[in-house]
Each structure stands twice: as structure tokens, then as C-alpha cells.
Structure 1
């Protein structure tokens, strides 16, 4: 039986015309979406897509499966809507907190899916730094909040009334000006290659990034520009302009509005984990439904 998440991924590629644009629409990283499509092709036993320099197009088998997938997904949407009425999700409010990059790249597709399933629930979204989002959940100001931690780094400090569930783990990657020697290769770059390189230091005094910055310093990267407040769009823009190299989450690098070179780092030890924070003692039906949606959407994208 085909996984509905993978069917939805194939439909998204058919509509967007490329895997990269479909990944942006769905809130996946491009490699994660490619992995899901490869699994779907293995399940189908045939090629569904032809990749080319401008994107991807469906094969005959892909066109057939997309046509059937749309019908299946439409029926699932109807089922979700009918179940929502049975479980009382026909009104109320869902209050969400998010940090900037999650709000730009993760929330829109998730909220679109939630709105289709539960059109009568009123949505509010507020912008918080990750630690402030957790505090807002504890205070009852929001029902759920997206937050993050880094590896290397300490665990997320949580009040006793708040739990956190990881929904997405992504690697940190190197970004540079297009054509830079460090990002021209296809293999993973050893951290030792950063020795002597001018580094755009991302929030060096922020607790979440402190251990990452220390590791880059031990590798020999030399801060050239310091960005003391979180702002990955700015880091990518400065790297694009040739002011140094930066280390940012892959999601940010792949969707940068300024052109950057991107390269994976050796070892895979630099990561960001995005989690959803929730009150462990009480949760509304809308919050439970949205948390389950996040788990199903982004959790499946990482399964091997």
C-alpha cells in the first residue's frame, strides 16, 4: 500500500515542476523529499519521474499514479473533515508560537493542511525566539511553540509543565559566495578545511549556538563578521557577497533568497533539531491535532 505522504509528495512535484520547488512548498529539505520519492518509486516498481536540468517531469507511470493519488488524497481530506466534526474540531482557536525560519519554511504547508482539515478553527501565529516560545507555552499564551536546539549543545531547558517533541532534524551546512572553492566540491568537507577561513559568526553569544561556534573556532575558522542576533537570511546574504563563509541549517541554505554555494560538512555532527513545545498537563483538541499533523508530516520525511 502506498504511503499517502509519498503520494502527496509526487503530486507536489507534478504541480511545482521540480523537486526543489515542491520541497519548499511542503516544508521538506530537498534531500528528504528526494528520499521519499525514491521510496515511492521502489514501491511502484518503476520510474515515476525524469530529472532534468530545469526540474523534473512525470513518466507515463508517474502521470497514472498522480491521477489516482489526487483522488485518494481528496478522499482522505474529506475523511479528516468528517472526523473533525465528530471529535469537536469545528470551532475554537489554535494559538501557535514560532521562530522565524520555522515560520517561513515549516509552518505554512502544515497550517495549510490543518486549515483544509479543520476550516472552522481560528488560527493565530506569534513570533518568538525559541526560549521565549517555550515560556509562552508555560504561561498559557500559546498552545504550541516551535523551538530548536543544536548539536553540539545542551538540551532544551523546559519548565515542569512543558514537554517537547522533536519533529525535524537537519544538518548544518557551509554556505559561501557562488563559485567559492570550499563549496565547489561534491564530497563532504572536513572541518579542518575551515582553518584560516573568514567566518560569519552566527549569534556567537546565543546559548543555542555557543557550542557550534566553539567547534568552528577549534577547527580554525576566524570570525570576520559577527551577527549577534539570530538572522540566517542576513548570514546568507553576507556570505553571498563574499564577506566570509557561514554555517547554517540546510533548510535555510537551500531556500536562501541570495545565491550561495552550499556544501555538506564531514561527520554530520553539526545539526539542528526542531521541536514542538506543548503543555504536558493539558492540551486542546486543536493543539493535539496539529501536533499529530507535525509528527506525521515531518517525522515521516526523515524515516529511512
Structure 2
């Protein structure tokens, strides 16, 4: 029996004309999507795609399977709609909060999947830089919030009504200007090698970063430029311009719009955990459905990170 996820991947490639564009649409990395397609080809016992310098095209077997796959996926979509009506997901509003990094790089494919599965539920998204999203959930202003914590740091004090479900843990990495001596190599750089380095800093105005930057200060990194707002894009831009080095989440480093060198640090003890905050006493169908989609999407992001 064919895996519907792999069938959807094949349909996406057929529609996008390339594995790279299909991966962006589905929230995968191209290597991860290629793995799914290779598994589908093994299941089918035939080549389904021909890759070329401009993208990919279907073979005869691929065209046959795509035609059948669309029918299967349409039927599954109808089943989801019917089940949603039974579960109370045929209307209402799901109010979400997110911080910038997750809102740009992780939330869109989850929102797309939720909309496809539950088109009658209205979606509302608001910007909530941690920890304000947790407070908004506790106050009932929003239903769910993506938030984050850093290590090392003091434990976060949660309102009694709020639960946190971790969905992704990522390391913090060193970012430098391209060609910087510290970026030369793939081995982990001991924190002590940052002694005397000018640091583009986000503390003390960024509470969740204080513990991390205290660890960097103990290693000898010297604050050079303070970015008081939670804007990692600005940190990477200043680093790229040669004003200092930075320590940012791996997701931020890999998606920086300005060129930076990237290197893993220490023993991986500097981390950021992304979690979803929700009210524990409530189990609204839309909230539960969205949390399930988050777990799947963030699991793919974790797998893609591990493949690098």
C-alpha cells in the first residue's frame, strides 16, 4: 500500500516541476523530499521521475501514479472534511500567536495544512515575542502560542492554566562574516575560542538570552554591539558586515538573508527549545488538531536539521 504522504510529494513535484520548489511548498528540505520519492519508487518498482538541470519530469509510470494519487488524495480530503464536521471543526476561529522566526520559517506550511484539512475554521495570527504569547494564552486572548526558551537559563514560570509542549530543540551556533578564521572548519568550536571576540549581543533587554550570554561572557566573548530588539536578522546583518560574531539558533543561521559563516559550538550545551503553549483545561477540537499538525511539521524540521 502506498503512503499518502509520499503520493502527495509526487503530486507536488508534478505540479511544481522541480523537487526544490515542491520541497518549499511542503515544508521539507530537498534531500528529505528526495528520500520520500526514492521510497515511493521502490514501492512502485519503477522510476517515477527523470531529473534534469531545470527540475524534474514524470516518467510514464509517474504520470499513471500521479493520476491515481490525485483521486486517492481527493478522497482522503473529503474524509477529513466529514470527520471535521463530526468533531466540531466546521466553523469558529483559531487564534494563534507566534514569534518572528517560527512565524516566517515554520508556521506557514502548518497553517496551509490546517486550512486544507479544515477550511471552515477561520485563522487569526498575531505577533507575540516570548514570553508575551504565554501570557496571552493564559488571559484567553489567543488559543495557542509558539514560544521559546533558551539553555542555559532560569526556568520559566508558567501560569497554572498553561501547558508547554516542546516541539523542536535546536542548537545555538556561531555566525561570523564570510571567510572569518573562526568559521574555518566543521568541528565544534570550544567556547573558550571566543575569548576576546567582539560579540553582537541581544542581552540584557532580551531576557531569554541572558543565561546564554552569561556563558559566553565567562568564555571571554566581549559585547561589542547591543541589539536590544529581538531581531536575529539584524544580528546576522551586522555579523555579515564584520562588526563582530554572533551566537544564534541554527534555523536562523541557515536561513540568513545576509551571507554568514556558520560553525557548531562547544558540546551543544547552548540550545533553544520551541514549544507550543495552550490552556491545559481545554481540549477544543481545533486546538488539538493544530497541535497534531505542529508535531508532524516540527518533526520534519528536526529530521532535516539532523541530515545536515
TM-score, scaled relative to structure 1: 0.83
Q: More displaced, 71-80 or 262-271?
A: 71-80
Which residue of 2 is the match for residue 176 of structure 1?
A: 176
Which residue of 2 is the match for residue 134 of structure 1?
A: 134
Is 1:225 aligned to 2:248, yes or no?
no
Which residue of 2 is the match for residue 193 of structure 1?
A: 193
Per the TM alignment, residue 95 of structure 1 is displaced from its structure 2 partner at its CA by: 0.4
The aligned runs of 1:242-253 (5 Å cut-off) are: 242-253=242-253
Q: Which secondary structure state, in structure 2, belongs to the residue aligned with residue 82 of structure 1?
A: helix
Q: Which secondary structure state, in structure 2, belongs to the residue aligned with residue 233 of structure 1?
A: helix
The CA distance in 2 between the partners of 1:218 and 1:190, in whole Å, is: 12
Which residue of 2 is the match for residue 157 of structure 1?
A: 157
The CA distance in 1 between the partners of 2:247 and 2:35, in whole Å, is: 28
Is 1:206 aligned to 2:212, yes or no?
no
Q: Which secondary structure state, in structure 2, belongs to the residue aligned with residue 171 of structure 1?
A: strand
Per the TM alignment, residue 192 of structure 1 is displaced from its structure 2 partner at its CA by: 2.4
Per the TM alignment, residue 233 of structure 1 is displaced from its structure 2 partner at its CA by: 0.9
Q: Could you tell me whether the CA contact under 8 Å between 1:36 and 1:301 is conserved in 2?
A: no
The CA distance in 1 between the partners of 2:105 and 2:145, in whole Å, is: 15
The CA distance in 1 between the partners of 2:99 and 2:92, in whole Å, is: 24
Which residue of 1 is the match for residue 241 of structure 2?
A: 241
Which residue of 2 is the match for residue 278 of structure 1?
A: 278
Is 1:263 aligned to 2:263, yes or no?
yes
The CA distance in 1 between the partners of 2:128 and 2:174, in whole Å, is: 26
Regions of 4+ moved over 6 Å = 46-52, 58-62
The aligned runs of 1:13-32 (5 Å cut-off) are: 15=16, 17=18, 25-27=25-27, 30=29
Q: Could you tell me whether the CA contact under 8 Å between 1:146 and 1:275 is conserved in 2?
A: yes
- Cα displacement string for residues 21-78 of structure 1 (whole angstroms, at most 9, x for unaligned residues): 66655556x5xx74675477578669999999x8986897996898476665554433
Q: Could you tell me whether the CA contact under 8 Å between 2:9 and 2:36 is conserved in 1?
A: no
Call closer, same or farther: CA 1:232–1:279 in 2, change over 3 Å.
same
- The structure that has the greater radius of gyration is 2
Which residue of 2 is the match for residue 144 of structure 1?
A: 144
Call closer, same or farther: CA 1:42–1:6 in 2, change over 3 Å.
closer
Call closer, same or farther: CA 1:101–1:7 in 2, change over 3 Å.
farther
Q: Which runs of 5+ in 2 are unaligned?
A: none
The CA distance in 1 between the partners of 2:91 and 2:248, in whole Å, is: 39
Which residue of 2 is the match for residue 216 of structure 1?
A: 216
Q: More displaced, 116-125 or 40-49?
A: 40-49
Q: CA RMSD in A?
A: 3.3
Q: Which runs of 5+ in 1 are unaligned?
A: none
Q: Could you tell me whether the CA contact under 8 Å between 2:9 and 2:33 is conserved in 1?
A: yes
Per the TM alignment, residue 302 of structure 1 is displaced from its structure 2 partner at its CA by: 3.4
Which residue of 2 is the match for residue 97 of structure 1?
A: 97
Call closer, same or farther: CA 1:36–1:274 in 2, change over 3 Å.
farther
- Cα displacement string for residues 199-256 of structure 1 (whole angstroms, at most 9, x for unaligned residues): 1112334221111111111222111111122111110111111111111111111111
Q: Which secondary structure state, in structure 2, belongs to the residue aligned with residue 179 of structure 1?
A: coil
TM-score, scaled relative to structure 2: 0.82
Q: Which secondary structure state, in structure 2, belongs to the residue aligned with residue 130 of structure 1?
A: coil
Count matched residues. 299
